Amino acid sequence: MLFRSHVTISRPALALESVTIKGKTYHMIATKGQLLALAAGQLDLDQNYLLQQDIDLSDTEWVPIGTAGEPFTGSFNGNDCEITGLTMKDPDAEVAGLFGYADGAKIYNVTLRDYDIAEAGKNAENRSVAPILVFGTDTACYDNFAYPKE
């Protein structure tokens, strides 16, 4: 007999399509809403993600993926797609970038174009700014391209 108190049901706040490649499952991010859900912590930060198409964030105030208390620990394959218009203007932001904190993560094939994070954190005492990854512990972040807004 199975007692309800022994059952844990876990459902992600947002269901993503997934694919398994060489035994590894990747959750596919195909929309701005899905990428925003990852940044908002509505998706598990310990999973593998694969970007499916270019995403324009120019009309959105970005909040970096991963916090000091809950860093991103999975993998993020940008799949040679572009994320354009990433914008952070919060003058009190202490961390500005696509990813804020990562630990043991793999972040690769990410292209940021026309991002605008130069003004973020101008009032913060200990501001840290980097286009792709701000703080990473034991994290592989490679094959990345970043083109700031001119």
Return the pLDDT at 119.
Answer: 87
Q: Model confidence over 24-34: pLDDT tens digits?
A: 899 999 999 99
**What span, in angstroms and rounded, lies between the C-alpha atoms of 110 and 144?**
5
**What span, in angstroms and rounded, lies between the C-alpha atoms of 39 and 31?**
13
Q: Model confidence over 56-114: pLDDT tens digits?
A: 999 999 999 999 999 999 999 999 899 999 999 999 888 889 999 999 999 999 999 99
Using CA atoms of 139, 18, 82, 137 in order, give the dihedral in degrees to the nearest 10.
-10
Q: Give the distance, in angstroms, between the CA of residue 29 and the centroid of all CA atoms in the same chain.
A: 10
pTM over 0.85: no
**What span, in angstroms and rounded, lies between the C-alpha atoms of 30 and 110?**
14
Return the pLDDT at 138.
Answer: 75
73 and 47 Cβ atoms separated by less than 8 Å: no
104 and 73 Cβ atoms separated by less than 8 Å: yes
Residues 6+ apart with CB under 8 A from 46: 73, 74
How would you classify the pairing of strands 18-21 and 24-29?
antiparallel
**What span, in angstroms and rounded, lies between the C-alpha atoms of 102 and 17?**
23
